[in-house]
Structure 1
Amino acid sequence: MAAPASACWASLSFPGAETGRKGRGEKAGFELRDFVGKQRREGAQPSPPALSGGGTLASGAGLRAGAAPSPRQRPGRGKMSAEGGRGAGQVVFRALPQKTFSCLQDRDIADRLLKWSMQGRITAQAFSFDQQFKPYQKDEFLMAFFNDQSVNSSLKLLSASGQWTTLGSKVTKIEATVVPCTQISMSFFDRLYSEGIVRETGTIVKCYDDYYDDILISDELRKILLLEDSDHYDLFTQLDREEFLFCLFKHFCIGGTLCQYEDVVDPYLETTKAFYKDLVSVQKNPETKEIRIISTVFRVSAYDANGLCYPSSKSHQQTFAYLIVDPCKRHVNILYHCFGGSLFTN
C-alpha cells in the first residue's frame, strides 16, 4: 500500500553528484529537502488504491474477479493525438496563480537562465482539476484541459514578437508524447565522468566546433546530447534519453539562441534537479520504504483552426511544453519554454 502524497519527497536523495569527485560542488550534493510540511500545507489528497498496471481504481469501485483491466498506453511509446470538443462529464480545471515554483524564484538559477538565454522565455504554471485522472482516458483529459475556459484564458505562451500572452483560441487537435518519468537519483548522470565527457573536477571536455540545426557544439557534452554519430552517443540508451530527467538536463545544456555555455557540469545538474523536484511528485511505500514517482508527464502540442498554436506556431526542439499530472492532489503543472533570445522579465 502506497503512502499518501504528503510523504512525497520525504527522505529522498539525489546522490549522484556528491560521490567524492572534486569540483562537483556542495550545491550539487543533491540531498533533497523534506517536502512533508509543504505538501500538507498544499492540501494533498489521500492516494487512491493502485492497480498493478500503474493506474488507479475509479472512486468507490473495485476490481471484480474476472474483470478486464482498462487498456493503457505504455509510457514512452510514441505519440497520441486527440480531436474533438467537450462532452458530458467534462473535467473542469482551475488556475492556481498562487502556486509558486521555487526553481523559478532562486536567484542563482535565474542568473543561469539569463546566461543560457532562457530567462524570460521559460515559465511554470499550476492548475487543479475536479475528477480522478485515468491514464487510459488521457486523450479526453488533455482535450478538456486545453479547451477549459480557465486554462484557455490563463495558459501563458510567448507571441511571435516576444510578448507574453495567453492561449485564447479554440483547440481542435492535441498531439502528446508520454514522457517516461522513473528516475529518482542524479546518479543517472554519473556515467558522464567515466567516458571522457566530464573530467573528475567537473570540467566539461572541449572539442572542435561543429553545428547541429544552428546549435553550436564546442564540447563533448553537447556532442553526446545531439550527435548520433558521436563516439559516446550510446552511453545513454534511447529509453534513457526519453526520461523526463534527461530531457530537462538536455534542454538546459542547449539553452536559447544566445546561450553562453558552462565550462563545468555542476550548474546544469543543479538546475535540472531543482526543476525536477518542483514539477514531479513521489510516494514512499511505508512497508518497503521504496520511493516511486506517481506523476504522469506529457510533452504536448496544440492546434487550432490555423494550425499549430501551442507552445508556438513554429516548431523547435528547444520550444517545449511539458504537462505533468499529479493524480493524488489532482494538480497539473505546466513547464513552458520558447526558443529565442533571453528576456529580462517573465
Structure 2
Amino acid sequence: MDPHAAALVAALSAAPDSLALGRELERIRRLIADRAVSRADALETGQLASQLYDAFLVRAAELAREGSPKLPETAGPCCLAVLGSQGRREQFLATDQDNALILGDGVDEAALAAFAARLEHQLAEAGMPPCPKGIMAANSAWRRPLGDWFAAMDAAAARPDEEAVLFISLLADLRPVWGEASLAAALAERVRRRAMESSLLTRGLAREALRFGPPTLIFGHLPSGLFGLGHGSLDLKAAAVYPLVLGVKALALEAGIAAPDTLGRLAGLVAAGCMEPELAAALQDGLARVQSLRLAAQATAWSRGQTADNRLIPARLSAETLADLDAALRAAGRLSEILKHHFSLHCLT
C-alpha cells in the first residue's frame, strides 16, 4: 500500500464520528480520482480503493457498535461482509452500501438489528448512500443467522429462477470485513458447493451475463460517429463489465473455484485446466481496459461535482481510447460466444 493510502487507513481508524469519517471518505475519493488522472493501473486502483473502503466500513461498524449499548464489547458472533464490486475488489467512485450481516449462534438478533440500522445511518451521514435495492444489513433479508442463510441458499439452488440466480450471484462475491470471518467462510463454501451441484444455477448466471453485452459491430468494428452510437452515451458496465464479470463468475462457480474476485477466478480457471491461459489473458486485458475507461469517466464526473456513473460518449473519445473500448467490447463479445456454446444458450441470440 502506498504511503498516502496507509495514512488514510490510519486516519480512518481514528475517526471519532461520522462527520470525521466523511472527511476521510472525500480523501479516499480524491486519491482514486488522482490515480485516474495519472493513468495508474485501473485493476490495481480498484483493489486499493476496496482496501480503503473496507477500512471506512470497519470504522463505521465500530462507531455503530459503540452507539449500541445492548451489543457486547466483542460484537458477538457475527460477520459484516461486503458484496458486489466491493466484494470483488473492483470498486471506484460510484459507490453505495452493499453489505450483509451473518449472525452466529446465541446472538441477540434485536440488538444486531439496531446495530445494522445505526450502521446504515453512520455510513449515510459520512457520505456513503444507501443501496437503492436495499442490499444492506439494515434490511432483514440481508441480516440472518447462518442457518437461515443456508436455508435461503438451498431454496435458491433448488429453484434457480431469475431472482434466485441474482441472490446467489451476490453471495458468490461475499467477502468478510469485520467480525467472525469464519461465518462468511462457511456461507461462501455453501455457495460454492451448491453452485457446483446445480447446473441450472450456473446456466442461469451465464444467461444473466448474456442479457448485457456490447453493441453490434458494424463491418467488424465498433460503431461510432454516424455509424450507430453517434452522440449518444454507452453504459460501460452493461456493455462490457457485466458480461465479463458475470461470465467469468458462471464458469468459476461451475468449476468450484472459491475466489470472490474476477482476477482470482480467471487464475483459478487456468490452474484447474478449465480455461486456456491465452483466453484468460485476453479477458483480463479487456477488463483492465474497460475499467480504465470507467475510472476515467467517474473521475471526470466527480471532479465536476457530478454524479459518478458508468457512461461515456464514444463519439468524443480519442482514437487511442476508442481502440481500448473496441478491445474491451471484443473481449466481452468473445466470452459471450463461449458462454452460449458452453451452457447451450444459443436460443438467446
Fold shared per TM-score above 0.5: no
Higher fraction of helix: 2
Higher fraction of strand: 1
TM-score range, shorter chain: under 0.3
Structure possessing the higher relative contact order (Cα contacts under 8 Å, 6 or more residues apart):
1
TM-score by length of 2: 0.24
